[in-house]
Structure 1
Amino acid sequence: MKKRLAFLLALATISAAPLRMPTANAIAGHMRFLASDLLEGREPGTRGFEIAAEYVAAQFAAVGLRPLEDRWFQNVPLRAARVNDTDSSLSINGHPLVANKDYILRSTFGSPISELSAPAVFVGFGIVAPALQYDDYAGVDARGKVVVMISGAPAKFPTDQRAYYSEASLKTRIAAERGAVAVITVQSITDEPRYPFAKRAEQSGMPLMRFLEPDGRPSDVVEGIRGVATLDRPAAAQLFAGASMTLDAVLADAEKGFAHSFPLNSTVAMRTASVFEDVKSENVVGVLRGSDAKLRNETVVVSAHLDHLGNHSPAKGGDSIYNGAYDNASGIACLIEIARGLVAAPPRRSVIFVALTGEEKGLQGSKFFVRHPPVPRSSIVADVNMDMFLMLYPVADLIALGGEHTSIGPLAARAANAAGMQMSPDPYPEEVRFIRSDQFSFVEGGIPAIHLKPGIKSLDPALDGAAITRNWLRRVYHSPADDMSQHFDFASGARYVEANLRLVKAIADAPERPTWNRGDFFSRP
C-alpha cells in the first residue's frame, strides 16, 4: 500500500508541478550553433568539440545550474587508435585480401603491432547465454583459433537478451574466455543494409578511442585477442570453401534464428599496425541542487552526448564535415532546455545534467562517468538519456527504450501523454537500440535508465513516419548530410523536451527511488 501511494504521488507531480515549458525556437537556436560547420563535427579531442563544450557550460551557467566542485568539466583522458593499412594485412590460406574492400581491421589497443596466423572456426553468432540454454561454442574448440561469427543475435531471443548479446565487445570477451586469438565478424542479412560494409570502409579512417584508467591503461582491452576484423561477404565466403556449409547457407539460417558451429578449412594470417595518440576531452557537468533537505543527497542524471564523427574527407571527395545535427545536437539542445525548465521549479532530489564525450567512440564518456562518478554511485537513482530525436515529421508517439525494465516506465508513459504524445512499442527491435547509446553504461552500472525515442506515427496522415524514418536511417544517418539543411519539425522537438522534463521532475520528486522490475534481465541481485 505504501509503495502504491508513493507511485501515485510521483504520477501526480507530472501534472501538478509548475514547469517552464520549452520553445521550438530555443531548440532550433542551440542546434544551429552546435551543428554549424565551424565546429567541424565535434569529434573528441578537436577544437570543435572544445568550443561545443564551452558553449554548453555557458548555457548551463546562464539557465542557473552550478558547476560540480567549482568545475564545469569532468576530464576524460582518451587514447585514439588508427590502423595503418599500408603496414597491416589479412590473408586467407595465403591469399592476400584488400584493405577496405575485402576487410576492415580494428585496433585491439594492446600493442602497436599485433600479428597472428591460426586456423579458423565458425561459431554462429558467437554467443554463450546459459539462462537461454544457448551456446554457439558447444562442440567446437576455439583455443588458439580465429573465430568467425555473424553479427547480432538470434531473432528468437527475447528483445532484452537479443540486444545485450548482440554487443560486439561482449562477443569478443566470450571469444577470449574460450581461448580464441582473433575475431572476424560477417554482417548478418539484417544488419548489412542498416550499416553497409562500404559505408563502414569509407569511415574506417576515423579513430577508435578508449578512455584511460588512472594507471594510464586503456579501458576494456581484451587480453588474448590479437586481431579483430570485419569481412565483406564475398571475401568471407572464401573462409567457407570446403566447409560443411556455405556462407550463404549459414546466413540464411541465421535469419531464421538457427546458428551452426563447425571448423573451417582455412588459415587466417592477420597483421594489425596501430598508431596511438593520447587526446584530452571532457564531460560537461552542471548541477541543480534538490529542494528537499533529505532527498537532495540523491541524484537523477540527465544525459546526452555532445560528440559526433568530426571532419574526415571521403575518398571520393565531397563534404567532409559530419555536422551531427540530429545526432546529437538535438539531444544537447533538449538537455539545456530541460535544465532551464527545472530551474524554475527545483525538484526534491538533485539533478546532474551531463553532456557526454565519446559516445560515437563506444560510449566512452558515459562509461567513464559511471565508473568514475563525480558523486557516490549509490546516490545516483536514475538516468534519463536523450540521443538523436528525429523531428522529420509531426511526431505523434514515443518509444521508451528501457521503460519495461524499471518503475520509470509508467512515469514515462504518463509524461508523454501530458506532453500530447502517445507511447508505442519499439517498432525496430532488430536495431537493438537499448544498448547503443549512453543509457546502457548506466544500466551496466546497475542504475535504472531510460531513453525516449520518436515513434513512427505522424500527426499528418499524409506523411508515412515509418518510411521517412527508414529512408533517413539508410541515407543520412552517420553521414555529412545530417546537417541543418534538413527538415526539422521543431514543434515536435518542444513536445519531446516537455515529455522528458515532466519525466525527470517526476523521478526527482518521487518519495521512493526507481526500482528494477522483479526478475528483470538487467537487474542485479
Structure 2
Amino acid sequence: MKPSHILLPVTLSLLVAACGASEPESKTTEIRAEESNIRAHLEFLADDDLKGRETGSNEHEIASNYIVSEFKQLGLEPAGDDGTYYQRIPFRKSTLKENSARMTFENNGEVVEFEFPKQFITGPSHYEEKDEITAPLVFVGYGMEAPEFGLDDYNGLDVEGKIVVMLTGRPEFLPSEEGAHLANIKSDIAREKGAVGIITLHTPVREKTRKYETSVYYTKTPRMTWLGPNGLPKGEEQQLKGSAYIDDEPAEKLFANAPTELSTIFEKIEEDPDFSPKGFELEGEVTLARESRHEEISSPNVAAVLPGSDKTLKDEYVIYTAHSDHIGVVKDMSREDNINNGAMDNASGVSIMLETARLFVESEQEFDRSIMFLSVTAEEKGLLGADYFANNPTVPLENIVANVNLDMPVLLYDFADVIAFGASHSTLGDTVSKAAQQFDTKQSPDPMPEQAIFTRSDHYTLVKKGIPAVFLMTGFTSRTEGEDGGEVWGEFFAEHYHKPSDGLNLDINYEAGARFTNINFAIGKEIANADKRPQWLEDSFFGKQFND
C-alpha cells in the first residue's frame, strides 16, 4: 500500500464490524487453494536473499523472474511487451542537490530570502538539472475544482504564467475518498490553468497532525517517475517550473498588503474546518531555483493471460494486480536486521495472486473472459508501475472490465470478514459479498474511511481510466474466540509496517491465506462469466468522474 502520512491506529478493536450469523463452509468439489503453495511463494519472496525487493535492484529482478517462471509453469500466455512476460519500464530517479534550493520574494523593491529547509522545502525536478522561475503570485485557496461539492477555487482568477499559492490539505466537508482524489490532482489543475509554479502553505491545522519538520526529513530522499516512450517524465511536456512548501509563519510575508491577511485565513480554517477561502492576486513576485541530479534505472512489470473461451468475450479482461516491490534495505548498517523483507507488503499479495492463477488454470471450468495476472513494480515509489501500465497498457484499455487488487493481505489471524475498498462505487460490491459468503465470510463496511485507502493502492491508477476496481483486505473480526482481528491488524501497522520486522518470523496464518485466495478466485470467476461487465453505480463520484 502506498505510504500515507495519516497515522494508522494502534488498536482497532472499537472499529470491528459485525459479521452476523455464520454459514457452513462451501461443500462443493471445486478446486481450492493450497496453504503449502502460498507458503512456498511467500517464503521465497520474503527471504533475506531478495533484500527487500527495491525497485530497480537485482533482487527485484530475481523476484520478477520467479513470477515469470511460475506463469510459464502454469502455461499462461505472455502479456507483456513484444511477446514476452515483461513490461520493462524506464524510470528517472531525481535527487535535490545539496544547498541548491533557493526562494526569494520581491515586493516594492524589498527582497526577502527564505531559508531552506527551515522556512521552505522543495523537491528535485524530473525535467531539468538546473531550473529557475520568477513569476507573480495568485492565492487560490485550496486550489480545488469540484462543482459537485461547490468548489471552484480558480473562479475569476487568471493564473496563466503565474505561481499559484494554495493551502495544504482540503476542507473537511469533503468525503474522504473523494477529497483524497481531489487533493491528489491539485497540481494537474494548476497546470491546466496555465500556472508555472506552485507554493503550498503549511497551516496550523496541518501542524497538529503532521509537523513541518517531518516533511523536512524527506528532502534528501530521491524521487522517482516513469519515462514515456517519448523520453519525457510521464510522457508530458513540462509546464510547472518550480514548487515550494513553506512553513506557516514565513508564509505570511507573501500576503503583505493582501485583501485578507494569512493569519486571518488560518484562524478561520481552525474555527471552521469546512471553510474554503476565496482566492485573490498577491503583490510581488517569487523566484524559485534548484539543481537536481538524475539517474536512469529500469524495472519490470510482469504480465500473463489465461485466454477466455467465449469467441466474443475473450477479448475482454479481468485483471488481478499485486505489487512485487518493497523498500529494500535500511541504510543504518549497525542494525542487526536491516532488511525490509515485506512479507505482508507485498509478498503475501503476490503469493495470493500466483495461487489464484493456479486455481484458474487447474479449474475444470471455462471462463468466458480472459484473466490477466499483473505483477507491478514501484508501488512503493508512488504507484508508478501500475500507472505506467494504465497509460501504456499491453491490452486495449477499453477491453479491461475490472481490476481485483491484491495488496497487503494481513495474514496474521483467522479473519471472519473482509473489507472491500471500492465496493460502494460499483456492482463489484455485490460480487464480493457473494464470493465471501461461499466461504463463511461476510463483507463489512470500511471501518476507517478517513484513511481513504481506495486512493492509495495500484487499482487507483486504473480507476482513473474508468475501470471499476475492488481491493480486498482482511476484516477486523476473527473466528478464534478471544482474538481481536482489528487489534492484530492495528498492531501490525504500528510495529511492523515498513520495518525489518515485517518478515518470515511473523506468525503467518496460511489457512487464512488459502481462504483469502479462494474468495478472490470466486470474485474473478463471477466477473469472468457474467453476462455484463461490472458497472459503476449511478451515484459514484469516481464513476461520474472517469466513466466517459
The equivalent residue for 1:44 is 55
Residue aligned with 1:218, SS: coil
Paired with 1:102 and 1:455, the residues of 2 have a C-alpha distance of 43
The equivalent residue for 2:67 is 56
**Corresponding position: 1:78 with 2:96:** no
**Corresponding position: 1:278 with 2:296:** yes
**Corresponding position: 1:323 with 2:341:** yes
Residue aligned with 2:512, SS: helix
Per the TM alignment, residue 239 of structure 1 is displaced from its structure 2 partner at its CA by 6.1
Residue aligned with 2:304, SS: strand
The equivalent residue for 2:18 is none
Structure 1 segments unaligned to the other structure (5+ residues): 1-13
Aligned CA RMSD, in angstroms, stands at 3.4
Paired with 1:296 and 1:447, the residues of 2 have a C-alpha distance of 17
Moved more, 42-51 or 291-300: 291-300
- With over 3 angstroms needed to count, the CA separation of the structure-2 counterparts of 1:460 and 1:58, relative to structure 1, is same
Paired with 2:337 and 2:202, the residues of 1 have a C-alpha distance of 27
TM-score calculated relative to the size of structure 2: 0.81
Residue aligned with 1:361, SS: coil
- With over 3 angstroms needed to count, the CA separation of the structure-2 counterparts of 1:484 and 1:210, relative to structure 1, is same
Is residue 177–residue 455 contact of structure 2 (8 Å, CA) maintained in 1? no
Paired with 2:344 and 2:251, the residues of 1 have a C-alpha distance of 34
**Corresponding position: 1:258 with 2:275:** yes
Paired with 1:76 and 1:437, the residues of 2 have a C-alpha distance of 19
Paired with 1:270 and 1:314, the residues of 2 have a C-alpha distance of 33
- Report Cα offsets for 1:417-473 as digits up to 9, x if no partner: 223322112122222211221111211222221111233334446444445544544
Is residue 203–residue 266 contact of structure 2 (8 Å, CA) maintained in 1? no
One-letter identity of the residue aligned with 1:391? L
Which of the two has higher C-alpha Rg?
2
- With over 3 angstroms needed to count, the CA separation of the structure-2 counterparts of 1:25 and 1:155, relative to structure 1, is farther
The equivalent residue for 1:296 is 314
Is residue 135–residue 163 contact of structure 2 (8 Å, CA) maintained in 1? yes
Paired with 1:83 and 1:385, the residues of 2 have a C-alpha distance of 33
The equivalent residue for 1:161 is 178
- Report Cα offsets for 1:138-168 as digits up to 9, x if no partner: 466645554343444333224442232121x
**Corresponding position: 1:210 with 2:225:** yes
Paired with 2:186 and 2:322, the residues of 1 have a C-alpha distance of 26
Is residue 153–residue 279 contact of structure 2 (8 Å, CA) maintained in 1? no
Paired with 2:101 and 2:452, the residues of 1 have a C-alpha distance of 32
Q: Specify which of 182, 188, 196 is matched with residue 173 of structure 1.
A: 188
Residue aligned with 2:122, SS: strand
- With over 3 angstroms needed to count, the CA separation of the structure-2 counterparts of 1:17 and 1:392, relative to structure 1, is closer
The equivalent residue for 1:388 is 408
Moved more, 305-314 or 136-145: 136-145
Residue aligned with 1:359, SS: coil
The equivalent residue for 1:116 is 133
1:223-372 aligned within 5 A:
223-231=238-246, 243-245=261-263, 249=267, 252-253=270-271, 256-261=273-278, 268-311=286-329, 313=331, 320-345=338-363, 346-372=366-392
TM-score calculated relative to the size of structure 1: 0.85
The equivalent residue for 2:514 is 494
Paired with 1:514 and 1:279, the residues of 2 have a C-alpha distance of 37
The equivalent residue for 1:5 is none
Q: Specify which of 405, 429, 448 is matched with residue 428 of structure 1.
A: 448
Moved more, 416-425 or 500-509: 416-425
The equivalent residue for 1:4 is none
Per the TM alignment, residue 477 of structure 1 is displaced from its structure 2 partner at its CA by 3.2
- Report Cα offsets for 1:329-388 as digits up to 9, x if no partner: 121111111111111224222111010112222222222222222222232211111111
The equivalent residue for 2:21 is none
One-letter identity of the residue aligned with 2:233? P
What percentage of residue pairs aligned between the two structures are identical? 35
Paired with 1:305 and 1:188, the residues of 2 have a C-alpha distance of 34
Is residue 427–residue 455 contact of structure 1 (8 Å, CA) maintained in 2? no
- Report Cα offsets for 1:237-272 as digits up to 9, x if no partner: 776789342685355257x22222456788654322
One-letter identity of the residue aligned with 2:345? D
**Corresponding position: 1:134 with 2:151:** yes
- Report Cα offsets for 1:462-504 as digits up to 9, x if no partner: 4444455445445543344433334433333222222111101
